[in-house]
Structure 1
């Protein structure tokens, strides 16, 4: 099954064309759809490179061999372009996997083949992932409609890890993704400023989760609405066909 898209092709084209026509900056347009300015910038780059086909939905996940990954990594390390530039050059839908491949390569961790439907991701050997990378993995997963399987493949970790990290992030925010070697002080043990910072961070996280839930609910409502329209059109077509048959 192909990767789900958070934003439709039509929306991306609308945002890009408005930007190119001077109707807004990447920052103002990004705020309208609650995303980051760098994402809008990446859409503009893709559109300039491939036109409207840049946003066509792929119904299959791409296969990335270890040799291909190494080629992309070396191209980046040799100054071949930014992550976004290389994503366009090598037809990779997001720059996030390239960032991950570079990290793995620089950490002397072997790059592996990624073939959809290949090795069982549930049994894949886990690797050590620091807090910063966990945050990046979780945010990638959330940005792609919680597609745990694809996220696990792209970042070369296990499905279970991604699932658990997303769950912890939803419950505790970034603090939930830290390692357990250090003991965090309780609220009653910290000063007032630290406590207020914690409370503010928790409120920001709750707001982020509420916005994510709202987006998912809106998407669900849109799917229901489309199905309702399709069913109504089918009934109308059936009635018209019956009327036509009676006239004959």
Structure 2
């Protein structure tokens, strides 16, 4: 039977300890308390990083140094582990916090601008890539399961650049890779063959994205089934 309203810290602690002691499975706990899997995972993560105190209301907002934020984001982007693993490793309070840092990182927020990143940006500004080179980089990234870090090193571009190009390509196809600052042939002037090829590449990119999402969900279900 699910609990109504806010769940007391003592109940959260008991639920986590029951799970860790293998007295109850996560499914049973979630059904009894009427909570989602993500909610229970957040409780578990806080308990493992901060102890029982982590499940009590905090009187102040946790502050993290910029160096830790950058290390956590780059570790995750480099394939160091899942969101959950990174939160545990760096003592981050929730997935949402880390995801917000990742968003800021991808947007090139100044807090995540290291000296190396600034040097990479300067280098990229000096060596502009053609649309064809951008397309090659995007397709390489898609073929390697959206490994932005590997692609940036392979093509000597910044992480933010390839992230932006892939996003534009998935939304607009090759037209999204056009340099709007100069006069380029607009998509309306493409031949039928070029339009068909661009559409096909866009569909292939979308299929790859959906396949990765399906693989992730299958893996999550497998892990949950082992509990």
Please classify the TM superposition score into its range, dividing by the shorter chain length: 0.3 to 0.5
TM-score by structure 1 length? 0.38
TM-score by structure 2 length? 0.41
